[in-house]
Each structure stands twice: as C-alpha cells, then as structure tokens.
Amino acid sequence: MVVFIACKYKKSIELKSVFNQIRLDIACSLLRSNRNMKIAEIAESVGLTTHNLHHLFKARYQLTPAEFRKRKL
C-alpha cells in the first residue's frame, strides 16, 4: 500500500518523496559543514547509496553533490 501525506498546498506527496527531501536537506547540511567528509560517507549517513544520492541531487539541484559543495561554500 502506498502511503500519502497531504501537504499545506493540498497536493498528495508519496511518503518516499518526503523522506528523500529530508535526506537531501540533511545531505546539503553535511556537505556545507563537513568538507572532510566523503560523499560516500554522507550518502551512507542519510540512508542512501552514493548512486542514489547523485541521482536525487541531479534531479533537485541540477548539480552533483561535489558540484553543490563547491558552489555553496
């Protein structure tokens, strides 16, 4: 069964998408604050594979995690 959450804009969002947004937010914070932490370690710490983290970053920011780190610091 797919679980949906109604957000304040009256749209239904799949729970997996909500978790992925939270994971990306945490990953962004880690990319900014921990320059010595490897991308693979960040992916693992938020519960994603490195491949999935790259895929989600490209979809949301049109950047890889490494590019995001360089531009946002």
pLDDT value for 18 = 84
Reading the block at residue 4, the tokens are: 């949906």
pTM: 0.78
pLDDT value for 12 = 59
The answer to whether residues 23 and 48 touch, using CB atoms and an 8 Å cutoff, is yes
Residues of the chain with confidence (pLDDT) below 70: 1-13, 73
pLDDT value for 13 = 64
Sorted by sequence, the CB contacts under 8 Å of residue 57 that are 6+ apart come out as: 24, 27, 63, 64, 65, 68
pLDDT value for 68 = 93
pLDDT value for 41 = 97
pLDDT value for 15 = 77
